[in-house]
A and B are shown apart, each in its own frame.
Chain A
Amino acid sequence: MSEALPARASARRPARQRRVRRDGAWPWLFVAPLALGVAVFYLWPIVQTAWYSLTTFGVFGGTTFSGLENYAEILSDPTLYRSLVNTLLYTAIVLLNIPIAVYLAALLNLPGLRFAAFYRVLYFLPYVAMPTAVAMVWRIIFNGDFGILNWVLGLAGIDGPYWISTPWASIVAVAVVGLWSSLGFSLIVLSAGLKNVPPELYEAAQLDGASRSRQFRSITVPLLTPSISFLAVVTVIAGFQLFDLLYAILGTTNPALPKSLSLVYYFYRAGFVDNDKGVAAATAMVILLLVGLATAVQFRLQRRWVHG
């Protein structure tokens, strides 16, 4: 056996070399269309945006290299910080979907539970629904005059705000929609994670007399930490990308808009409403930096709390 191994290995080597020769130009035929598209529409644009961010675009055409001027401009703009705070507030609220989903996933995983598939489909529906289409109904639910939310709050004696035209409230409102639409995805990922937990663990715990809540704390949650950390990373990245829901729920003529921007909305306004490419590019680079930073920090922290 120990003699056969090296012999096999050496027999495989020439075979592989022959394959290299036989493949010839084939790999390039397979890769070329994608590589070309990616180079033209993604890789080159990344380089170009980095360059744009150092460039001032004249109103009547013409460009000049201006170093870090664009960065200085946005970094001294209070609206950018406001947008950052709004984005962080949104992300923080949407992150709440994870603990809720952990609890719901544990319930869905109960042995012998009926209608589990039915629940899963219902919870997942908002995730697949078009954001701009669901935004329409949420706009009415949040309406300050005739929205059903304020009607319900009124029953409880609470005077609800004009959600969509009050800056802080509009971010909370949009974040609630974000939470609503991402819950299903988290639930699916966590359910998949729970499938890998051996049922014997629960049986053993049950025989030892551990209560349901004890099992949840000591078995379910620790074994789900890899899925939870994946969801945390994905949710934060998606949170920094907030645009669709905000744009569609707030509308373009909302008086609260300047105080309710997200980072991506700030970028969109600079680049495609005010037509200032340099400033927009600098904003894009700042977003890239922030997302990279947030992800790196999370990966670092994971070592402390992720199981296994």
Chain B
Amino acid sequence: MVEQLERVAAPTRRDLARAQRRRGGSHVVAHLVLGAGALVMAFPFLWQIVMSLSTNAEVQSVTPSFWPAHLQWGNYAAVFERLPFLEQFRTSVVITVVRVLAQILFCTAAGYAFARMRFRGRTVLLAAVLSILMVPSQVYLLSQYQIIADLELLDSLGGLVLPGLFSAFGTFLMRTAFLGMPDELEEAARLDGANPFQVFWRVMLPLARPTISVLAITSTLWSWNELLWPLVVSTYAERMPLSAGLATLISDRTTDYPVVMAASLLAMAPVLVLFVVLQRRVIDGLASSGLK
């Protein structure tokens, strides 16, 4: 019965799609609208590339020069000469890698326990962790700063990295993933005599890999792009990550626009490349996690 219905329904749907395509006109409109929109979305990036290869005079000419007379590749070399770019780049990489690894470790472990283990105070503890999700970051920022200052970690990697090692969002995300897993595998492993850590490590963690990659992606984005915290805990340009370093670089005495353009392109390139390579996974992951 169902098969019969499907056999009848399937061609109809295909026919409709084909008919729509044949009508065609509406798709032309769709492509016009979507294409124009895409151009607007991409324009700032394209413009930035053009300006990064121009001279300062070309950037500041009142009638825009849409293409530089000579491509100024030297602007990219100047980024490394005039700014502590390599130091800042290294800082960004270290902060991001450490935070992503720590979040994966702490959030999967805690998420697993919250989802699949029973212990006294679980509900209260979970509520406490999740309540942080609803609190704007300013509410804990002052006090975090004070703690880092008391630990004498201002202007250090430790200070930059510390609060971001822990994530309520990550815990929530991993808990949801572990909640949705079948009991049978876990029970079987336990009957075989595996201890809870072995069950977690060998059975559940591999199953959670897709969600772990969502966690890795979101925490990479967040850590690489974050501005306020690095701005607060670091004073010397050499010790800032790129996000904060770029922001200080535009203090109005800098008028070498092409170099600034080249620097900011280089600063966001790693994450953009990562996104373009992993785009399917990023988009599906973010859509299903339903959160930033």
Contact = CB atoms under 8 A, between A and B. Distances in A.
B257 A140 contact: yes
B279 A34 contact: no
B188 interface: no
Interface stretch (B67-75, B76-84, B141-149, B206-214): B141-149
Which of B106, B142, B195 has the most chain A CB atoms closer than 10 A to its own CB? B142
A46 interface: yes
B142 A49 contact: yes
Contacts of A283: 138
A44 B144 CA distance: 9
A110 B20 contact: yes
B243 A132 contact: yes
Contacts of B51: 137, 140
B38 A130 contact: no
A167 to B, nearest CB: 17
B236 interface: no
Interface in B74-121: 105-107, 109-110, 112-114, 117-119
B248 to A, nearest CB: 8
A242 to B, nearest CB: 11
Interface in A76-134: 104, 107-108, 110-115, 117, 119-126, 128-134
Given A30-B109, A137-B47, A244 B20 contact: no
Given A27-B117, A137-B261, A192-B287, A206 B142 contact: no
Interface in A241-267: 241, 243-244, 247-248, 251-254, 264, 267
Interface of B: 12-13, 16-18, 20-21, 26-27, 30-31, 33-34, 37-38, 40-42, 44-45, 47-48, 51, 59-64, 105-107, 109-110, 112-114, 117-119, 122, 125, 128-129, 132, 134-147, 162-163, 165-166, 168, 171, 190, 195-197, 200, 221, 224-225, 227-228, 231-232, 242-244, 246-247, 250-252, 257, 260-261, 263-265, 267-268, 271-272, 275-276, 279-280, 282-283, 286-288, 290-292
Interface of A: 16, 19-20, 22-23, 26-31, 33-35, 37-38, 40-46, 48-49, 52, 104, 107-108, 110-115, 117, 119-126, 128-141, 145-146, 148, 151, 180, 183-185, 188-189, 191-192, 199, 203, 206, 212, 230, 234, 237-238, 240-241, 243-244, 247-248, 251-254, 264, 267-268, 271-272, 277, 280-281, 283-285, 287-288, 291-292, 295
